[in-house]
Structure 1
């Protein structure tokens, strides 16, 4: 039986006892009211009227004595009227009593008997009045005192009324005795019923309170133990099938849910701590690599600046060579015009040939330097990796142009040597000078074209190197931003690891079901260290390029 059923049973018992007590009390009060009304309506008016009848009978006797004591007949008529009025009043009240104040059959019979006695008094009154008018005192006194006279009839009438009053008084006393008996029986009966009800209710209430107190005390001890030791593996006794048992089952379910949640939180905190440790290690490695990349980009930017300056100088030299080639062309044209005067100006031609030889030597040196710069550019493009493929193509084209310039310079040198030999033998081969000058003019035009191509290639090379330099600067900025972001990520991962360890420590304060001891603090797992990128060695590649050159 659960607590609700016990309380319902106690309420039903209390209600039933109150209903039974109420019904009995109402019925007893109804009986008391009936008896009270009987006394109030019948007994008291009857006693009052009977007392009045006795009083009127006494007054009738006094009137008769008053009439007997009169000595003057002239005063007797008023007394006779008084006597007649007394009899009429007694008769009227007796008839009213018979009609309204009868309390029992015996009372009715006694009232009828009184009316009969009153008629006897009326029948004896004329003889008394006659003797009193005759002033027969002995006769009238005898009638008043003898039982056979009018006085005896009045005495009998008063005795009847007294007996009738005693009857009504005995009825009232009987009702009082009945009320007392019923009161005592009711008092003891209700007292016993109330006492029994209180005992039953007290016993049921005490048992219920003891059971509730015991159950709540057990649950309270479990709660105190959980609150003091944070041990979620304990359970409350939920074997009872009452409200306290339901509360214990709900409490055990709550502990299970909380324990499961804390176990999941503990597992998650361990995973977060381990992951944050790995992230921190990875961020440190990434930060180191980012710093290395930034240093490499700075070196590349410096090399590109040097290369840009070299290319600029090459472009200037190429433009100067272009001008010199133009001058050579003009000289060639002038030589063709003044071919007739060639013998006279042979010395001047010899001098010009020497100058041309020097210019060709200079062009050959410029081509040599251009080839060196192309090799350096190829090396830097190899270092740049994917981003340097376009620059490598440009460097290859520059190298090809340089080789072509070298070849052209060699050819020009050969032509100049031939021209010089012809000048030496100018006197002998004057006729062939015109043809040779024509070939020389063609060669100068080729040189001019080659120098123009070299100048254009140098301009393109300068533009490409400028773009590469700008891209490297942008890469340097991005690398610096990446380094800052890596530092922020490292700080965030360290903070996350601290929070995860704090959360794990808080969870470890609880003792969960199925765990012998708190979970250990996860160890920090470092990310695998990767070897730093090895810079491309330029030495062997440059030696090979020099050999091919």
Structure 2
């Protein structure tokens, strides 16, 4: 059976059909042989026996006709009529001789013994018959009649008895032959029925074996497929066959192994995504808090910059007033002292305002540095987020660029404020010297006028720079607000991703894998 199980289904079906076909051919050959035997028996009965009976009946018929011709010749009054009857007798005798010769070639066995007995009875009969014929032909009718009624009648009776015995034997043989044919036909019928039953049994056995060899592995395949369909990937199929069903079982096992590996990878990936999305959600929440804090700080910075702009505008107005005062001092030296005092106070205010501006610019520079650090941290968190954080990384890069620009502008303003502070300090020293040397008031007032013009120009530049810084802070605040909105959207997307990853993990957990 193991060898047969390794055959392909086509080979098994072909072998089964070939076996049944061989049995059918054997039955056909046996039937043909038996029909040939029956045909030979029927030929012997019908052709040979019936022909022999026909020939024997012809012999008897000719013998009777010959005897009648002989008697007719004896009754003829004229010799010519008698000769005609005798010639008819001679023709019948010749025909009987030919018939006996043909029987001699066809009759064998026990028939031969009866034929020899027939010849033994015929020879004396024919001798007596010829003698009576010769007497009749010679005109010796009285002697011929005596011989006809005596010896010829006795020998004819013996001859006809031998003929009847041979005919009866032929009929008996024909009857027994027909009976033998009928018996043989009946036996052949039973044998054919037996062979047909054997063929049906053998065909049924082959059909059952072939069906079991195909259906059993197919049932195993269906059961295994139903197990896989239910989510159980821990099953194993052992394909011990090398036919199509064995190939099917092996293919199902490979499919199960590949599916188990795929589900395992999907499960690991889902768990990793779930863990990563949870981390991203935490980082996004932290980033959202920092962004809100940064937005609040930027709002405070914007308010401070508005105050700084007002102060710088006031400084510009003060510088213009100082310039007017210096011009007035040139024409009114008497009021020089008062103007100098106002100039001293004004310069002190300018120095104080300049230092305050320098402190505010330092604060702006610190805020820009912190913003740069926060943007850098946001870029790092976006890089950790992977594909989902790419958009946030771009926004973080823009925030970092704005922070760097703000820091650069703050440094430039700080440099200008430093120059202003130095200029104001120089003016204070000059005004102090003017108090001790009034005789140089006119010349010093002219110098002060020039210095105040420079201060006015520097204040105008400060006003422009503060305006730029204010615009930059406004842009940074707007960007921070946008970043806050993006962070909130990112948080929502991350939470959705975490939920989807949880669903994927739940779906993947429905599959039961084999223990590692």
Pairwise CA distance, 1:460:
3.9
Give 1:144-163 correspondences, 5 Å limit: 144-146=148-150, 148-149=151-152, 158-163=160-165
Give 1:2-21 correspondences, 5 Å limit: 2=2, 4-5=4-5, 11=16, 21=27
Which of 419, 425, 439 is 1:407 aligned to? 425
Tell me, yes or no, if structure 1 residue 58 matches structure 2 residue 70. Answer: no
Q: Secondary structure at the match of 2:500?
A: helix
CA offsets per residue over residues 176-220 of structure 1, 9 Å max, x none?
Answer: 455456556656666667767777887898799899999998998
Counterparts of 1:80 and 1:487 in 2: how far apart (Å)?
151
Tell me what 1:273 maps to.
274
Counterparts of 1:123 and 1:6 in 2: how far apart (Å)?
90
Tell me, yes or no, if structure 1 residue 87 matches structure 2 residue 93. Answer: yes
Q: Secondary structure at the match of 1:90?
A: helix
Pairwise CA distance, 1:359:
5.7
Tell me, yes or no, if structure 1 residue 396 matches structure 2 residue 400. Answer: no
Give 1:292-307 correspondences, 5 Å limit: 292-307=293-308
Which of 353, 368, 371 is 1:369 aligned to? 353
Which of 20, 30, 47 is 2:53 aligned to? 47
- Give the conservation status (yes or no) of the 8 Å contact 1:118–1:154: no
Q: Secondary structure at the match of 1:104?
A: coil
* Structure 2 CA distance for partners of 1:240 and 1:145, relative to 1, 3 Å: farther
Counterparts of 2:176 and 2:21 in 1: how far apart (Å)?
36
Tell me what 1:104 maps to.
108
Counterparts of 1:242 and 1:377 in 2: how far apart (Å)?
87
Pairwise CA distance, 1:162:
3.8
* Structure 2 CA distance for partners of 1:71 and 1:451, relative to 1, 3 Å: farther
Pairwise CA distance, 1:273:
2.8
Counterparts of 2:6 and 2:54 in 1: how far apart (Å)?
60
After TM superposition, the structure 1 stretch with the greater mean CA deviation from structure 2, 108-117 or 208-217, is: 208-217
Counterparts of 1:405 and 1:242 in 2: how far apart (Å)?
103
Tell me what 1:342 maps to.
none
Pairwise CA distance, 1:163:
3.9
Counterparts of 1:407 and 1:224 in 2: how far apart (Å)?
95
Pairwise CA distance, 1:251:
7.3
Counterparts of 2:186 and 2:56 in 1: how far apart (Å)?
33
Counterparts of 2:92 and 2:469 in 1: how far apart (Å)?
159
Larger Rg: 1 or 2? 1
Which of 382, 390, 413 is 2:366 aligned to? 382
Tell me, yes or no, if structure 1 residue 131 matches structure 2 residue 132. Answer: no
Which of 21, 32, 40 is 1:34 aligned to? 40
Pairwise CA distance, 1:404:
3.0
Pairwise CA distance, 1:368:
4.1
* Structure 2 CA distance for partners of 1:196 and 1:217, relative to 1, 3 Å: same
User: What TM-score does the superposition give when structure 2 sets the normalisation length?
Assistant: 0.68
* Structure 2 CA distance for partners of 1:40 and 1:372, relative to 1, 3 Å: same
| Greater helix content | 2
Pairwise CA distance, 1:173:
4.4
CA offsets per residue over residues 312-347 of structure 1, 9 Å max, x none?
Answer: 55446546655766x47xx86xx8xxxxxxxxxxxx
Q: Secondary structure at the match of 1:376?
A: helix
- Give the conservation status (yes or no) of the 8 Å contact 1:361–1:409: no
**5+ residue gaps in structure 1?**
336-347, 423-435, 516-549
- Give the conservation status (yes or no) of the 8 Å contact 1:50–1:161: yes
Tell me what 2:126 maps to.
121
Tell me what 1:458 maps to.
459
- Give the conservation status (yes or no) of the 8 Å contact 1:370–1:399: yes
Give 1:100-249 correspondences, 5 Å limit: 102-104=106-108, 107=111, 117=122, 121=126, 124-125=129-130, 127-128=132-133, 130-131=135-136, 134=139, 136=141, 139-146=143-150, 148-149=151-152, 158-173=160-175, 175-176=177-178, 178-179=180-181, 182-183=184-185
